[in-house]
Amino acid sequence: MIVTVTLNPSVDRTVELAAPLQRGQVQRAERTRQDPGGKGVNISRALQLSVEPTLAVVPGDNNDPLLQGLEEAGVRYESVSVGAPLRSNITVTEPGGTTTKINEPGPELDSDTVERIIDQLIARGAGAQWLVLAGSVPPGPAPNIYAHIINRVRAALGSAAPRIAVDTSGRPLAESVSETVDSQPDIIKPNGEELAELLDRTDGETLEADPAAAASAARALIERGVGAVLCTLGGHGAVLVTRDGAWHAVHEPVTVNSTVGAGDSALTGYLIADVRGESPEDCLRQAVAHGSAAAALPGTQMPSIDNTTPQAVTVTAL
């Protein structure tokens, strides 16, 4: 089973326009949709569509639209009451795939709520194959919250602890891979910009366009003790760097409808292939296949593995 935790989940409302966005003007939407969202939630949704056992751990009250959305989607979840409505995020998509997102900050999580979430992760994590810590950190928890969760889970579960994936950005990501942290994630999933920021570099655009440069940068994190780095590069595919090697994968061109959730889907594809015992190269292949399938879907829809075309992915050793 793959357990996900999303500290700052959302109800994602997508507005699809038939023409480019015109600031200051009135436009009619071609269509709209609403999905339960947040990185970990998206990953659990995609896993459920591929019939992979998953549990989404989230804050939220019983009547919150997010939890209702998870029930409607058939995603198994456990929640911790916060006494406040969760946030809504707005995504506006234009023809050609241009996407604009407006994200609310989310309700504040006090220390008691965070501790109850960690207790759930410890209770449900024993025997799980992966624990995925994903998304932004809401108001309340310290920026090192993911590093704190990693340490708590591993200290409590020992050899029964699941492997841990981290998919976030900014200080929460930096704190989770800090050189002062004894317990590093088994995999992180930055994009090129996030990888550059993590390493105090300013060449994020270069890394996005240069897989070899991205792989070289990621090796610095492997040397710190991070198990693997899956770095997504938009239209340039993705690179995977481990202690045993580095690979670049790219999918045949697809028609992009929305980039929202493509990175979440890429990590989902990697995890599915990993729990099925695939090689690192094939885990990367499925990651890129999943990310490309998500980009071809409208709004915040997640693909199932049946929607993906790993045979259209070329993997090259670096």
The secondary element (H helix, E strand) that includes residue 118 is helix 111-125
| Contact by Cβ (8 Å): 251, 262 | no
Q: Which helix (H) or strand (E) holds 245?
A: strand 245-251
Looking at residue 303, the DSSP 8-state letter turns out to be P
List the structure tokens of 262: 């493509």
Q: State the pairing for strand pair 29-37/10-17.
A: antiparallel
Of the pLDDT bands very low, low, confident and very high (cuts 50, 70, 90), residue 182 is low
Percent of the chain whose predicted confidence (pLDDT) is above 70: 98
Q: What is the distance of C-alpha 244 from the center of its chain?
A: 24
* Mean of pLDDT over the chain: 94
Residue 312 token pair: 């259209």
Based on the number of CB atoms within 10 Å of its own CB, is 201 exposed (0-12), middle (13-18) or buried (19 or more)?
middle
Lowest mean pLDDT among 59-73, 92-106, 188-202: 92-106
The confidence score (pLDDT) of residue 298 equals 76
Q: What is the pLDDT of residues 241-270, one digit of tens each?
A: 999 999 999 999 998 877 878 999 999 999
Spatial distance between the Cα atoms of 89 and 83, rounded to a whole number of angstroms: 19
Residue 181: pLDDT above 80?
no
pTM for the full predicted model: 0.93
**Rounded to whole angstroms, how far apart are CA atoms 241 and 100?**
30
CATH 3.40.190.10 fits 2-20+29-317, yes or no: no
Rg (CA), the chain: 18
